[in-house]
Structure 1
């Protein structure tokens, strides 16, 4: 067992590299990362990293690299379509959480992690498509589409919502959540209509037609994103790809929802933004899993492979990063080799319970963003206003943003 590579990680996005770095830097444990793409993947969109995500990036040594490449902020302001303030959430706070939040492109985070893997001498093999996985008593064998195979003591599935590793160890079926997102990036802040000055940014705007977020995304805050999540009928994967490539249709969807009866700067963006820059993202979900490990416990799932759900709480990447660091402390436990079944079970139970709480939070956000009648919308806005009057600016979310992955050791 000791002659094999200790860990094979399938997936070179964010969670997989973070796991490899945490294992190497804090515990001296070796691993190898296999990535489907033939090279570093520059695709993706801007994402939000809350303090619980940034804490992990600091621990693995890339926070100082990514911090100057995104927009740091503490408060998310909320308003309605009439530009009336509903409340303010302190999502990031050096005082309360040691970090502000960060708006940054996903590819920048991935590149920082991959670059650090190279610095640490952790191998990454690109262009490796997993086709089969065999779990034996003391090792896992991986078969790739190019005909090559590899063995390791343990294998980690960090290969996303449509995980091949997950498919190899259990029968599951991902499903469309009923929501999709549309995002436009790279808008010059100075180009926004003067009505934008009436609301502080970042700002989440709620109305009877749905939800629009306006968020600075550059270090100086002079560039902004706008994005909206909305219910939309299900389609086949081919039909989703066709719609994602139909930029005229995407712009029409935006204009139909937000082309009038909204703040002028939002109406302008739906009409004037270069449609070729629009991205459409259908949200797929992994059904709640009873376990994140194989029966023999030598194959382990993390990130979207284990728990993909709609990213309406700004916690998608964060949950994968938390999985990675908590798992690294589990794998490095002095008794892991002889007692890995018990330790992985404890890790799994802890993470499943936390993800249940996070999904409840995300589902609530989704309901608040869903279009409704004028009366229901008024009640939702009253609920948002009342919540922050009652809970204060931290929104009773210390459990979420203040999470420390190293605390996993208490559950062993």
Structure 2
């Protein structure tokens, strides 16, 4: 018996992974789910994100990529230099020849809105303003309880509600930890307003120096608009202290100026002084510790995306691995026999995804180390290592395993 014939699915979270799962279930397998989202309809918070080929491939499969690719900046090569403007290498973050897709820089809210429009077009129910406060698992069903006093019942619940997941909290005890890194970003900067020294630099550009790391990324279709961001180690704060720092735009500007206002390329130093401080955004990065399981004991509650494995975005893979989770899970839940033996299928899916996430996390941690400030000597060694790695691995960077992943590969395991 198949899932579409016997069961219902509730998806908690209407960000990116949740709607992607709903669309994959419907378009690939004819299975209709219901999405419950905490925020109100039309919420457009978020920042620009990079979607590598492994993410774009999922968006193509569920029918929203053609709409999105004309709203973001597509690129293949990324330039890597140091703070003295010395060339360290280039890396292919996308390749139509090798992966069939370029990398796409786009606002997260633009992706979410496109997904939700397609959800609506496919007749998939989505209920806004629903805060999950509890789950009760029975033998064949799960009861969802919401803060407004309402309840819903489903045969399976998928938690796609982010790093501070209420679904995860309902099925296990975990502690979400501050990663030790935060990010500062500025968006909507006109490329032609950059210092003239930027005219001779290929963008996007990752710049590494002894005081940290800065990225300059085109972010609209024609590449005339750019954003800049830096991820950096920063001491832990309470929630109230993070909110206070986030609202203190002068402090954020000072942090950038202290790190990048001197001894950096002029177009970067100028940004720290000239960019309107009111546009700066601060994002502390929280991590979910490695979980032994991504399901409840009964297997009727399943975690995907940041709910299962949140880590810092320093490999540009946060949204991508959530999209991979979504499509691979849809293929898993649609298998003949899933209803009667769902634990067997979910264990195979879980082991497959967890093994991949270990690799992705390793790349993320390496990138975090490279982006951290260091003494001049250590920074000198790091830059030589980066240059040598580009010479040895070439522009593909030995990352074919990362960017070439296809979620349908899960089918070969059943």
> Do both proteins adopt the same fold according to a TM-score greater than 0.5, normalized to the shorter chain?
yes
**Deviation string, structure 1 residues 256-297 (Cα, Å, up to 9, x no partner):** 101100000000001100111100000000000000000000
Between stretches 190-199 and 345-354, larger displacement belongs to 190-199
User: Which 4+ runs in 1 deviate beyond 2 A?
Assistant: 1-5
Distance in 2 between the 1:131 and 1:314 partners?
A: 31
Give the aligned partner of residue 187 of structure 2.
185
Aligned to 1:244: 246
2:381 corresponds in structure 1 to 379
Q: TM-score, normalised by structure 1?
A: 0.99
Q: Report the secondary structure of 2:332's partner residue.
A: helix
- For residues 214-266 of structure 1, what are the alpha-carbon distances to aligned partners after superposition, in whole Å with 9 as ceiling and x for unaligned? 00001000010100000000001111111111111111111110110000000
For structure 2, the residue ranges without an aligned partner over 5 or more in a row are none
Give the aligned partner of residue 55 of structure 1. Answer: 57
Q: How does 1:18-167 map to 2 (within 5 A)?
A: 18-167=20-169
User: Could you tell me whether the CA contact under 8 Å between 2:206 and 2:215 is conserved in 1?
Assistant: yes
Whole-angstrom CA distance in 2 between matches of 1:3 and 1:90: 44
In the aligned structure 1, how far is the partner of 2:70 from the partner of 2:79? 23
- Determine the structure 1 residue equivalent to 2:174: 172
CA distance in 2, matches of 1:239, 1:158: 27
Structure 1 residues 2 and 384: alpha-carbon distance in aligned structure 2, compared to 1, 3 A threshold = closer
- In the other structure, the counterpart of 2:331 is 329
Q: Distance in 2 between matches of 1:298 and 1:70?
A: 37
Q: Establish whether residue 220 from structure 1 lines up as the match of residue 222 from structure 2.
A: yes
2:249–2:280 CA contact under 8 A, matched in 1: yes
Contact 2:140-2:155 within 8 A present in 1 as well: yes
Give the alignment partner of residue 258 of structure 2, picking from 244, 256, 259.
256
Q: 1:352 aligns with which of 351, 354, 362?
A: 354
Q: Deviations over 1:151-193 (max 9, x none)?
A: 0010000000000000000000100000000000011110110
Partners of 1:198 and 1:25 lie apart in 2 by 45
Residue 40 of structure 1 deviates from its aligned partner by 2.4
Query: Partners of 2:300 and 2:43 in 1: how far apart?
Result: 28
The aligned runs of 1:394-409 (5 Å cut-off) are 394-409=396-411
SS in 2 for 1:33: strand
Offset at 1:197?
Answer: 2.3
Residue aligned with 2:97, SS: helix
Match of residue 340 from structure 1: 342
Superposed CA RMSD in Å reads 1.0
State TM-score, norm by structure 2: 0.98
2:291 is the counterpart of 1:265: no
Question: Does structure 1 conserve the Cα–Cα contact (< 8 Å) formed by 2:4 and 2:32?
Answer: no
Number of the residue aligned with 2:197: 195
Q: CA deviation at 1:6?
A: 1.0
Cα distance per residue 1:336-370 (max 9 Å; x no partner): 01111110000000000000000000000000000
Contact 1:5–1:151 under 8 Å retained in 2 = no
Q: Helix, strand or coil: the match of 1:68?
A: coil
